[in-house]
Amino acid sequence: MSTHIDAPKDAIADVVLLPGDPLRAKYIADTYLEAPTLYNTVRNAFGYTGTYQGRRLSVQATGMGIPSISIYATELMQDYGVKTLIRVGTTGGLASQVKVRDVILAQGATTDSSIILNTFGAGMYFAPLADFGLLETAARLAQADGMRYHVGNVLGEDRFYNDEMDRQKLIDYGVLATEMETPALYLLAAKFHRRALAILTVSNHLVTGEETTAQERQTSFDDMIRLALRTVTSL
């Protein structure tokens, strides 16, 4: 077991999907995994292991924000030897070509968090990047499926409510959408020499004010989850 995951070492697969929301972890396990077992309930950060089309995999809730995902990603890699981590999250659209329900494959992650500064020191601006193999596989599958998807830079910000952020400047520099975990996931995957990708579904648009209905959110969650599962089984 680790500090925040109460499970024996072999209870977690070498591939883990990472939703922020514990109930999304339960939904993925209940809907898509064969014979899922619940291996963690500490802080209600549910974790499940089962199989998908014969491939053993786990789903671990990460909570919201960089501090929270940093705990789970670190323990999964350091204590459980997890090799492949795929975040399945929601994101707010920023760029005009991004529409609600689209899928975003986060090629890189910009941040206002101090994690980069605290890791490398002043004057070094490390660029947290997705694993190219995972990214290329997911993009190919999304393309073949005719999904509306985008590949590019996302903002992983420290605050959900952030009136001070100059998001327009980021939009001008090509940032597609905003969320709250991906920079830490990519930074930690680099630290532990593992592979990571964030697959995100656009739940709302911060510029147009467009929102999704509960039904639309569910459908787009399913598109995103299926893409993540098919990426895993295609590796």
Report the binding-site residues for phosphate. Answer: 20, 24, 43, 87-90
| From 2, 90, 137, 212, residue interacting with ligand R1P (rule: CB under 6 A) | 90
Amino acid found at 70: S
Cα angle value 181/184/189 (rounded, 5°): 125
Size of the chain, expressed as the number of residues it contains? 235
CB 110 within 8 A of CB 154: yes
The conformation of residue 211, written as its DSSP 8-state character, comes to B
CB of 162 to ligand URA, least distance (A): 9
Strand partners, 16: 58, 85
Please, which of residues 35-64 interact with ligand R1P by CB under 6 A?
64
Site string for ligand R1P, 11-30 (x = CB under 6 A): --------xxx---------
What are the two backbone dihedrals, phi and then psi, of residue 55, each rounded to the nearest 5 degrees? -95, 120
Binders of ligand URA in range 61-100 (CB under 6 A): 90-92
Sequence letter at residue 184? A
Question: Per-residue contact track with ligand R1P, 153 to 172, x per CB under 6 A?
Answer: -------x------------
207 binds ligand URA (CB under 6 A): no
Told to check if 132 binds ligand R1P by CB under 6 A, we report no
Residue 74 in contact with residue 123, Cβ under 8 Å?
A: no
Only one residue has tokens 């929301």, namely: 21
- Binding pattern to ligand URA, positions 160-199, x when CB under 6 A? x-----------------xxx-------------------
Task: In whole angstroms, give the CA distance from residue 204 to residue 2.
Answer: 35
Report 127-166 residues binding ligand URA (CB under 6 A): 160
Structure tokens at 86: 């795929």
Q: How many CB atoms lie within 10 A of CB 130?
A: 27
CB 123 within 8 A of CB 54: no
Query: With respect to ligand URA, which residue has the nearer C-beta, 94 or 142?
Result: 94
CB within 8 Å of 83: residues ≥ 6 apart: 14, 15, 194, 195
Q: Which residue's CB atom is positioned nearest to ligand R1P?
A: 20
User: At closest approach, how far in Å is the CB of 82 from ligand R1P?
Assistant: 18
Q: Which residues bind ligand URA (CB under 6 A)?
A: 90-92, 160, 178-180, 203-204, 206
Binding site for ligand R1P (CB under 6 A): 19-21, 64, 89-90, 160, 179-181
